[in-house]
Amino acid sequence: MAETLDLITLTDPRSPAAEAYRTLRTNLTFAALDKPLETLIVTSAAPGEGKSTVLANLAITMAQGERRVVLVDADLRRPGLHEIFGVSNERGVTSTIVEQGALDDPPLVDVGLDNLQLLPSGPLPPNPADILGSRRMEQMIEALQARADVILFDAPPVVAVTDAAVLGTKVDGVLLVVSAGRTRREHVQRARDLLERVHVRLIGAVLDNAPRDVTLGGY
């Protein structure tokens, strides 16, 4: 697996940033005491807010915590997880949806880390929202659940297109990435309103790109 700068949980596991991802993993565990999070979308309000990087590092920390994780690139417009992990995007979600028999053997990719597999987006379709909202997508999620303890989905920004809201109705919850100094307050509010309108369970938000508090020293 290519250890890119985006994967801080691998390149510098003792860093404050890596510790923050482990804290996020713990917080999600406690947030799911009443209703376990077996399927979770990580998205953002608008483009360029670091959702795919946050998702990749969260997946790694969950896998390091000995949970079987399948990471799904459901951003069928501008997929990026295959680039972060340095793997092929020849087959993936769209292949599983359209190919006969693919549900029995989804094209999961080994990324070189125990307990973690990736399902890339595959070839980009002309109708992403229709695919994400299909019955076949529900069947794919069920097939993946038989192979993992938790499934994490990357989805396009909520305000830009309907994809995340459509897919959100099929999973246990949505986590919204907010980028410090970049995300606009009105975009976050609009994203929340859009998700709540279709009764998606918004777990909370994670602040990305926040300045480090140097007063904490070694802690």
Q: pLDDT tier at 215 (50, 70, 90 boundaries)?
A: very low
Q: What's the mean per-residue pLDDT of the chain?
A: 90
pLDDT in tens, 138-176: 999 999 999 999 999 999 999 889 999 999 999 999 999
Across the chain, which distance is largest between two alpha carbons, in Å? Answer: 57
pLDDT tens digits along 19-29: 999 999 999 98
pTM of the predicted structure, to 2 decimals: 0.91
Q: Which two tokens mark 199?
A: 């009764």
CA–centroid distance for 186 within its chain: 23
Domains of the chain and CATH, by start:
36-210 (3.40.50.300)
**Mean pLDDT score, 29-37:** 80
Q: Which residue has the higher pLDDT, 34 or 155?
A: 155
- Tell me how far apart the alpha carbons of residues 133 and 138 are, in angstroms, rounded to a whole number: 8
Provide mean pLDDT across the span 38-48. Answer: 93
pLDDT band at 67 (very low <50, low <70, confident <90, very high): very high
